[in-house]
Amino acid sequence: MLPLDPHADLGRRAWVPCPGCRDDRDCGDCTGGRNCGTHWRYLIGTAGSLLHLQCPGCTHLWSHETGFGAGGSRPF
């Protein structure tokens, strides 16, 4: 298991399913499109429409393309 990224900040969160553990799949709030108090992810950073995230449960790091925002994405 990876340690939490040094830029992980509880004040910067996102609600995106974690591809590592998918702990949100049986949650009524998450499957209903609502922000859940349990299944949030650390928002490590952004680059245009690309979010850099880390799951606080399994510590998986990944990038998620939202399709929103200005400019193109650049690699993490």
pLDDT per position as a tens digit, 14-56: 999 999 999 999 999 999 999 999 999 999 999 989 999 999 9
State how far the Cα of 45 lies from the Cα of 13, in Å rounded to an integer. 10
Domain ranges of the chain: 1-76
- 43 vs 26, 33, 53, 56, 62, CA distance in Å? 22, 18, 5, 10, 10
The per-residue pLDDT for 52 is 96
**Whole-number Å distance between alpha carbons of 38 and 31:** 13
Q: How many angstroms separate the CA atoms of 14 and 64, rounded?
A: 11
Single pTM value for the model: 0.82
- Rounded to the nearest 10°, the torsion over CA 59, 32, 76, 61 is 10
